[in-house]
């Protein structure tokens, strides 16, 4: 896989962390026995989806002149390739209540657990086997990953947890009702806070229970690195260094990787369907 493509995946990951979890999206990688596929799921009426991120990388080889497939005997020097899967977390308690969540550490609802289980079942049907998993420090993300790995019988998969894979930090909007906030500040202002690339929401007060610096799980992080609020750009700047230092090396080794976090790219509803998705048929040199 070229550097540009790798960085493109990294940027997509970073943006995923900033999109509100009102829609779900699963990008599904292939095993060496099948083509790469994407699985998209929406959370509209009559649809349930999985929100969050899972990245997996498959081991194997790729004939550079052929399509995305198992190694070809005609290739004199097959090169390693990797498969990634992005899995969004299931519905959380605050998703259900329509509250801005961000770094607030809330659990999955029963529906959210069922969504995670459904996504795991689909991955199991594809015969996906993971070498390594990545997730954030947020409970809802870890619950989703645990459910997925358990259903697939892959509980022993090494799991890496890092705060840089957390959802975007919503700052002073954390715990506020979305409709009431729009009524108070205006729909356009709230839309700018949520959708603009470089305009963050109001900062959270450091005395607030919702500032991560008051949570012991972030005690190892210098205060100046703990956000008071984040826009999409801030989320990208936070996430890309971790991608480069931890995830990209695993991709280069040609591993099956599953990464579990939250997602924030665009408000697009994806229908539940099994559709072929050409992620990128290139080698990771």
Q: Where in the sequence numbering do the catalytic residues fall?
A: 89, 167
**Is the Cβ–Cβ distance between 247 and 55 less than 8 Å?**
yes
CA distance 63 to 270: 32
The 8-class DSSP code of residue 76 comes to S
Q: Where are the extended beta strands (E) located within the chain?
A: 24-27, 37-41, 61-62, 79-80, 83-88, 132-135, 159-161, 256-261, 273-276
Which tokens in the block code for residue 222? 């210098």
The C-alpha atoms of residue 90 and residue 144 are separated, in whole angstroms, by 6
Contact (Cβ atoms closer than 8 angstroms) between residue 246 and residue 41 = no
Rounded Cα–Cα distance for residues 255 and 134 (Å): 13
Edge-to-edge strand order for the sheet containing 132-135? 159-161, 132-135, 256-261, 83-88, 24-27, 37-41, 273-276
Tokens of 37: 């596929």
Neighbours of 273 (CB within 10 A): 10
DSSP 92: B
Residue indicated by tokens 């099994």: 274
């Amino acid at each position: 896989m070229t550097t540009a493509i790798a960085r493109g995946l990294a940027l997509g990951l970073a943006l995923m962390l900033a999109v509100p979890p009102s829609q779900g999206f699963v990008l599904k990688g292939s095993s060496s026995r099948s083509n790469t596929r994407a699985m998209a799921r929406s959370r509209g009426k009559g649809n349930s989806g999985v929100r969050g991120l899972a990245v997996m990388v498959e081991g194997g080889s790729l004939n550079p002149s052929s399509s995305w497939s198992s190694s070809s005997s005609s290739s004199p020097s097959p090169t390693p390739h990797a498969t990634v899967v992005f899995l969004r977390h299931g519905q959380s308690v605050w998703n259900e209540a329509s509250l801005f969540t961000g770094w607030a550490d809330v659990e999955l609802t029963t529906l959210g657990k069922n969504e995670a289980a459904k996504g795991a079942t689909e991955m199991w049907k594809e015969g996906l086997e993971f070498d390594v998993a990545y997730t954030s420090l947020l409970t809802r993300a870890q619950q989703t990953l645990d459910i997925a790995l358990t259903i697939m019988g892959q509980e022993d998969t090494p799991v890496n947890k890092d705060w840089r894979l957390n959802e975007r930090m919503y700052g002073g909007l954390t715990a506020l009702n979305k409709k009431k906030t729009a009524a108070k500040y205006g729909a356009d202002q709230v839309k700018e806070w949520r959708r603009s690339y470089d305009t963050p929401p109001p900062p959270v007060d450091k005395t607030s229970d919702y500032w991560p610096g008051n949570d012991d799980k972030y005690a190892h992080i210098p205060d100046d690195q703990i956000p008071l609020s984040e826009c999409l750009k801030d989320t990208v700047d936070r996430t890309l260094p971790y991608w480069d230092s931890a995830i990209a090396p695993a991709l280069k080794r040609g591993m099956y990787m599953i990464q579990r976090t939250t997602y924030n790219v665009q408000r697009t509803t994806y229908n539940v369907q099994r559709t072929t998705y050409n992620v990128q048929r290139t080698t990771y040199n």
